[in-house]
Structure 1
Amino acid sequence: MKQSPNELMDSQKSVDVNGSSFHWDTAKGIFQFEGEDVMLFWIDSAFKVFLESIEEITGEGTADLVFETAGYRTGLIVSDFYIRTIKDIEISAESLPNIYASAGWGKTYIELDVEKKEAIITITNSWETKIKKAQNSERMGRFLPGHWAGVFTGLFQTNMWFEVLENKSEPNTLALKITESHITPKDNIRDLVHREEQHEIMKLEAMVEDRTRELTDLIREISSPIIPVTDHIVVIPLIGKYNELRSKDMLEHTLTSLPQHRAKFVILDLTGIKSIDSEMVDMLNKLVSSARLFGMETLLVGISPELSMEITKHQYSLGESTYFRNLKHAIHFAFAKEGMLIQEPSK
């Protein structure tokens, strides 16, 4: 629908503030600042919720980096405009405070040293400080520091970064020192990714360590149980390979548990042992010696022909023990020494 000339005039409005132009065209729903489309946000409510949503989704650390990087890149956009139009760093720095004040970014003061490539920037009543105050947050905003680093990176055509200056006398004021630096948002992103990777690795290592500890404890409990056959006979089945740690656990477990059984015979069942080395021989000899100290006789069973050949080949000595082919024979022997017989069921 076409508008009348009067309606068209009423729908458009232009204002000049400190040399900055604002233009509204309500018929088209357009608001422009310096000829570019812009929009308005309520700082303490809508914009605050917008930023808080980003923090909630990404986490504070990642959100800080997002704001810092976004600020830096928007700063480069600003500097690009001044490089193309004004082409003078000092004149650009003089005009920037009015532009930012007109746009509602706070009152900005810039002390520039072109030779040193340094700038001291003081900002009062910034939108970012207002949001932090509304959040009751003591954390510094990261968008504006990153933004001004980006602005002067573009103006000086060399990488610049910020340092936050302490300003206890004016709590609502942000003071920054912008200088040449090797720091870039990309470096910070890589550092964050590395930190998060390290954090995840540490979490995974902790989980593995906890699980390993649980499994180790379980193995300690079930790998070499002491099984009572009668009041006077216990069997200790040995299974798998015994390294230094497992041998130590085995000895500690046996020395702690054997006295509780008050047995006269300890049967070490080697059926589950497929190979033997000097470390395991040493463990077996210590088991035999320990049992003897408790007044118990040790019987070895389940030595396979292959294991027997290996023991002979390496001339291993298993101490003063009595050997039996299998567990049944050893139990019969122990019963006989106690003056008892096992009655076989009649067929």
Structure 2
Amino acid sequence: MEMQKDLIVGGVELKWDLNSGQVLFEGGDVVFFWVSAMKTFFDTINEITGEEATNLVLEATGFRQGIIVGEGFKEMKEINTSNVVEWLSNTYVPAGWGYVSVEEMNVNTKNFTLYIQDDWEYKMNKLGSEEKQGIFVPAHYAGVFTGLFGSNFWYKIIKYQNESNPYTVVEYFPSVMSIQQNIRRLASRQEDKHIQELESLVAEKTNMLQDLVKELSSPMIPVLEGIVVVPLIGRYDENRAEDLINNTLNNLPKYHTRYVLLDLTGLNKDISPYTAELIDKLGSAARLLGVEVILVGISAELAMVITETMTRLKKYECLQTLQHGIYYALGKSGKSIV
């Protein structure tokens, strides 16, 4: 029984050695796949990496495979610009890549226009529910020209094969564009996208934190009828100061307030001129509404600061503890705790 099969198709030699399971195409090992199997392979890449990365993988892989083919056949067939037309068709048609033909060629500039019909990638994409356009095969031929002529070629797709167009038409030309540049651009875009996502997340968390700070930075605590406590905590900038004043003044009528105890315990001696101005501004505005402001939580250190550098606060009743402030406000109201 003969265990080796030899076949010549369009000048291309194919061999099958059934003993070793080896298949040769022009002396090189090849593997056959169903188009549907290739579709599964490509769909898996897309599922894992996403469409944009998949397209770049297909383009880069097709291009680099083409370089291998071009360099290999250049040595075997001594291919040059004049016989590349015949070689392309004779090589790729027997390999099951569909019809391919160089319809336009400029020998001086080495520009080629390929007509490609019914290639395996086109057939593969037709099996899917979504209409996709080929990228592996067009990029592959760019790699082929790069390998044949030893300089970088790139491509531009003029039109794709569809019901209206019987061929995919692709222009090929020498170019400084390289697949490495495309890979770097994708990496840069993905990095930029990641940075934008992080910036968006940071902005969202910052807004949430700012809202929380607003809620916590100017609370009003009603302790007894007509008496509320407003604790001051930390440093105050323009935004926090505005929130404190607006929130306090707007809620005074709600509690029928007569006395506001500004608790400075959370400031310790860390009271800036800006904070002192804020206290005075709030006290003056409250007075116009018939409300008296009393400063409580005055430590020894804070008392020294107010005496030496913030004399405007001396006009307010200042008491050592919140408890003293409550007793004082009650006494002025003619009430006491029994």
The answer, yes or no, to whether TM exceeds 0.5 is yes
User: Unaligned regions of 5+ residues in structure 1, if any?
Assistant: 1-6
Question: Residue type of the partner of 2:182?
Answer: N
Question: Residue type of the partner of 1:300?
Answer: L
Higher mean C-alpha displacement, 23-32 vs 302-311: 302-311
Match of residue 208 from structure 2: 214
- CA contact under 8 A between 1:21 and 1:33: conserved in structure 2? yes
- CA contact under 8 A between 2:222 and 2:228: conserved in structure 1? yes
1:63 deviation in Å?
0.8
1:305 deviation in Å?
2.8
TM-score by length of 1: 0.90
Q: Deviations over 1:277-327 (max 9, x none)?
A: 232223212221232233211001123233333344444523852211221
Choose from 231, 244, 264 the match for 2:225.
231
1:264 deviation in Å?
0.4
Question: Residue type of the partner of 2:155?
Answer: F
Instruction: State how far apart, in whole Å, the 1-side matches of 2:232 and 2:322 are.
Output: 13
Tell me if 1:131 matches 2:124: yes
1:169 deviation in Å?
7.1
Choose from 192, 198, 203 the match for 2:186.
192
Match of residue 44 from structure 2: 53
Match of residue 4 from structure 1: none
Q: 1:223 to 1:27 in 2, by over 3 A?
A: same
Question: Residue type of the partner of 2:250?
Answer: T
Instruction: Specify the SS of the correspondent of 2:335.
Output: coil
Match of residue 254 from structure 2: 260
TM-score by length of 2: 0.92
1:268 deviation in Å?
0.3
Tell me if 1:156 matches 2:142: no
Question: Residue type of the partner of 2:224?
Answer: T
User: Unaligned regions of 5+ residues in structure 2, if any?
Assistant: none
Choose from 98, 106, 113 the match for 1:113.
106
| Aligned Cα root-mean-square deviation (Å) | 1.9
Q: Deviations over 1:84-135 (max 9, x none)?
A: 2314232134311121111111111112213122111110001111111111
Higher mean C-alpha displacement, 119-128 vs 180-189: 180-189
Instruction: Specify the SS of the correspondent of 1:317.
Output: helix
Instruction: State how far apart, in whole Å, the 2-side matches of 1:175 and 1:314 are.
Output: 83
Match of residue 293 from structure 1: 288
Q: Deviations over 1:211-259 (max 9, x none)?
A: 2222221222123310001121000011111122222222232233333
- CA contact under 8 A between 2:258 and 2:292: conserved in structure 1? yes
Question: Residue type of the partner of 2:70?
Answer: S
Q: 1:281 to 1:83 in 2, by over 3 A?
A: same
- CA contact under 8 A between 1:69 and 1:185: conserved in structure 2? yes
Match of residue 89 from structure 1: 81
Counterparts in 2 of 1:1-347, with a 5 A limit? 7=1, 9=2, 11-43=3-35, 45-85=36-76, 86-110=78-102, 111-166=104-159, 170-171=164-165, 173-274=167-268, 275-315=270-310, 317-318=312-313, 320-343=315-338
Instruction: State how far apart, in whole Å, the 2-side matches of 1:299 and 1:310 are.
Output: 17
